[in-house]
């Protein structure tokens, strides 16, 4: 456990009064790729959300340690700043918030990245070229009207921009065609190469795993981790399915955790509050940058060439 980047011990969680996770023990070392597999409704996505601190779920036992620090009680934003990242199976659409404003807002919360003004613009442009994304995407509303593949590219854009210590990728391959899958796979490889990134992939099929050197494989059934092994376990699952681990019967195909997820009330996402926080963070960063530059126009990024403040974009 001393060397583990992520150490989860006895983690149990519920949605409302319904228990979903039971005594999860999991260790992920820095630089490794771990895969969490299992049938639909097994609780895989729930584990990802609990690790990230989604307030829709309550931790009822155990603890979560990231890079030596217990984050079990931390809010989502603090976990993000500590180096934890999750890409969503179904990214939410946020009308009225341009992608560029969203990216600038999340970067402003990570001062350690030192991405301000022109450095930010260049980094985003480089990543978008990597992902074969047109610059016009930046002016579009976050995920609104985007295809499934485009939404997953935006998730990868965030991953490469933030370079977290640990990336939890929830069904990243879901709904992707071959070309989009190749782009996503290249993004994962770039993340690992650029910052020795660590990945926990949540999936129930093996297609995307063909592109990755998997270190450990974990199997979840009915909210419990029931098997663990190296990459060879994936081939065994391919050949024999999940029934070998006690998969639910046909008439119980939808696990209770999946049913309960539909009844969970997710706290309301207040766009106005998010934008207000983002504007305050950007204004503070711009003021600090201007002060450091002695109030001259050499403070990169306080304004664009046309005089338009980036904070207002």
- Position 69 pLDDT exceeds 60: yes
- Beta carbons of 217 and 233 less than 8 angstroms apart: yes
The band of 267, judged by pLDDT with boundaries at 50, 70 and 90, is very low
- Position 270 pLDDT exceeds 60: no
The pTM of this model reads 0.79
pLDDT by residue (tens digit) across 239-256? 888 888 875 443 334 444
pLDDT by residue (tens digit) across 89-104? 888 899 999 999 999 9
pLDDT by residue (tens digit) across 16-58? 999 999 999 999 999 999 999 999 889 999 999 999 999 999 9
What is the structure's pLDDT at 280? 59
- Beta carbons of 37 and 203 less than 8 angstroms apart: yes
pLDDT by residue (tens digit) across 135-145? 999 999 999 99
Residue 187 CA to residue 105 CA, distance in Å, equals 22
What is the structure's pLDDT at 273? 53
275 Cβ neighbours under 8 A, 6+ residues apart: 97, 101, 105
Matching CATH number, 1-92+146-264, of 2.130.10.10, 1.25.40.10, 3.40.50.300, 2.40.160.50: 3.40.50.300
298 or 305, which is more confident: 298
- Beta carbons of 214 and 234 less than 8 angstroms apart: yes
Residue 115 CA to residue 110 CA, distance in Å, equals 9
- Position 268 pLDDT exceeds 60: no
What is the structure's pLDDT at 284? 65
The band of 269, judged by pLDDT with boundaries at 50, 70 and 90, is very low
Q: Taking residues 188-200, what's their average pLDDT?
A: 93
What is the structure's pLDDT at 103? 96
What is the structure's pLDDT at 108? 92
What is the structure's pLDDT at 182? 82
SS (H, E, C) the chain: CCCEEEEEEEEEEEECCEEEEEEEEEEEECCCEEEEECCCCCCHHHHHHHHHCCCCCEEEEEEEEECCEECCCCCHHHHHHCCEEEECCCCCCEEEEEHHHHHHHHHHCCHHHCCCHHHHHHHHHHHHHHCCCCHHHHHCEECCCCCHHHHHHHHHHHHHHHCCCEEEEECCCCCCCHHHHHHHHHHHHHHHHHHCCEEEEECCCCCHHHHCCCCEEEEEECCEEEEEECCHHHHHHHHHCCHHHCCCCHHHCCCHHHHHHHHCCCCCCCHHHHHHHHHHHHHHHHHHHHHHCCCCCCCCCCCCCCCCCHHHC
Lowest-pLDDT choice from 161-165, 222-226, 299-303: 299-303
What is the structure's pLDDT at 3? 75
Lowest-pLDDT choice from 12-16, 59-63, 213-217, 304-308: 304-308
What is the structure's pLDDT at 299? 44
What is the structure's pLDDT at 256? 42
Q: Taking residues 168-196, what's their average pLDDT?
A: 86
26 or 185, which is more confident: 26
247 or 310, which is more confident: 247
What is the structure's pLDDT at 89? 82
Task: Delimit the CATH 3.40.50.300 region(s) of the chain.
Answer: 1-92+146-264
179 or 41, which is more confident: 41
What is the structure's pLDDT at 298? 47
- Beta carbons of 301 and 311 less than 8 angstroms apart: no
What is the structure's pLDDT at 174? 74
Average pLDDT, the chain: 83
């Amino acid at each position: 456990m001393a060397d583990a980047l992520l150490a989860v011990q006895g983690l149990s969680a519920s949605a409302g009064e319904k228990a979903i996770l039971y005594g999860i023990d999991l260790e992920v070392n820095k630089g490794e790729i771990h895969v969490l597999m299992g049938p639909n409704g097994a609780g895989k996505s729930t584990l990802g959300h609990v690790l990230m601190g989604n307030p829709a779920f309550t931790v009822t036992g155990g603890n979560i340690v990231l890079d030596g620090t217990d984050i079990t009680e931390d809010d989502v934003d603090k976990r993000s700043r500590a180096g934890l990242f999750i890409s969503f199976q179904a990214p939410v659409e946020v009308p009225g918030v341009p992608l560029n404003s969203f990216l600038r807002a999340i970067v402003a919360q990570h001062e350690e990245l030192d991405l301000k003004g022109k450095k930010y613009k260049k980094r985003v442009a480089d990543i978008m070229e990597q992902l074969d994304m047109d610059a016009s995407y930046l002016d579009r509303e976050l995920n609104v009207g985007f295809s499934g593949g485009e939404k997953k590219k935006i998730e990868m854009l965030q991953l490469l921009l933030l370079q977290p210590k640990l990336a939890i990728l929830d069904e990243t391959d879901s709904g992707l065609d071959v070309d989009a899958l190749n782009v996503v796979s290249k993004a994962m490889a770039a993340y690992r190469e650029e910052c020795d990134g660590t990945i926990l992939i949540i999936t129930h099929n093996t297609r995307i795993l063909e592109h990755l050197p998997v270190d450990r494989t974990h199997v979840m059934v009915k909210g419990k981790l029931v098997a663990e092994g190296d990459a060879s376990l994936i081939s065994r699952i391919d050949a024999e399915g999940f029934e070998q681990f006690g998969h639910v019967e046909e008439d119980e195909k939808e696990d209770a955790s999946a049913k309960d997820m539909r009844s969970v009330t997710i706290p309301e996402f207040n766009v106005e509050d998010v934008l207000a926080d983002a504007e305050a963070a950007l204004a503070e960063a711009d003021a600090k940058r201007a002060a450091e530059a002695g109030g001259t126009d050499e403070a990169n990024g306080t304004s664009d060439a046309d005089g338009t403040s980036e904070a207002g974009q």
